[in-house]
Amino acid sequence: MKKEHWWRPAALALAALGALWYFPPPPLAPYRLCGFHWLTGRPCPLCGVTRAVFALAKGRWGEAIHLNALSPLAVAMLVALPWPGRFRARLWSAGLALFALYGLGRVFLPFV
């Protein structure tokens, strides 16, 4: 990415944050949309991330952490998408590993 275009990803992230702050989260579906939850009865590593990201944008950190403990990491991973380089690769590698461990915890530990 050229140095003079550093502001584009930042502007995109701010616009997305503003949209999430302004709009309410989508209504709960009458049935679970998650195929993993439908098959196993347990939440997947990503269950609750959508609502948690909306809560984070509105400053409701406690609610976001309750919905999905790794939601701040998910936001960081999404914000890092436009930036090329080693940082994004390391963040995504570590993030995917943490989501995998979190998913195992949600499946096998009743309190996660």
Please report the pLDDT score of residue 42 as a whole number.
86
pLDDT digits (tens, 9 = 90+) for 9-48: 778 778 888 888 888 887 776 777 788 888 888 888 888 8
Give the per-residue pLDDT at 93. 96
Helices (H), the chain: 7-22, 35-40, 49-57, 61-67, 71-79, 86-108
Of 90, 95, 89, give the one whose Cα is nearest residue 75: 95
Q: For the chain, which residues make up each domain, given as ranges?
A: 44-112
- Which pLDDT does position 53 carry in this prediction? 92
Query: CA 52, CA 65: separation in Å to the nearest integer?
Result: 7
**Model's pTM, two decimal places?**
0.78
Spatial neighbors of 12 by CB under 8 A, at least 6 apart, are 82
Residue 72 confidence (pLDDT)? 96
Q: Mind listing the pLDDT tens digit for each residue in 52-99?
A: 999 999 999 999 999 999 999 999 998 888 777 898 999 999 999 999
The number of CA neighbours under 13 Å toward the Cβ of 31 is 4
H or E segment to which residue 45 belongs = none
- Specify the 3-state DSSP secondary structure of 51: helix
